[in-house]
Amino acid sequence: MGFFVARSEPITNIDSLSQHVRFLILSLPDNGLLKFSPFAIEKTLKSIGGSPKTVKRLKSGDLLIETSSAVQTKSFLLAEKFLDHPLSVTIHRGLNSSRGVVSEDELVGSSEAEILEGLSSQGVIAVRRINIKREGTIIP
């Protein structure tokens, strides 16, 4: 018996969003980040929300940052300017979500809605029951 659990945060409330999001993509129009030195970028990142846990430049020229706290995530999400240029901050779709299987005999009698409600405080947004076919019969 197993359940498919997807974890990802829809954009609704920035406070609850910042609790679960750690990977952000920072971009400027026309690959503007390529024009600045690493030192200027570091100084600006520190002024926005402190030093991120990791910073990587993507092939596109954008910055992928991993924040170290919910407060830092919120600071970057609220940022509108980067070195006097309009800043676009997006949530990395893949790195902020995970999929997993929960196999627990005690959940056999629970509905998917009940399981989702019980796990929603942990950022779970979808639950799907996995059925197994053995000897021609489907077992939940």
16-91, CATH topology level: Alpha-Beta Plaits (3.30.70)
Q: Rounded CA gap, 106 and 24, in Å?
A: 37
Query: Domain boundaries in the chain?
Result: 16-91, 105-139
What is the DSSP secondary structure assignment for residue 105, as one 8-state letter? G
What pLDDT band is residue 8 in, cutting at 50, 70 and 90? Answer: very low
pLDDT tens-digit profile of 80-139?
A: 999 888 999 999 988 877 778 887 888 888 888 998 898 888 778 888 888 888 888 887
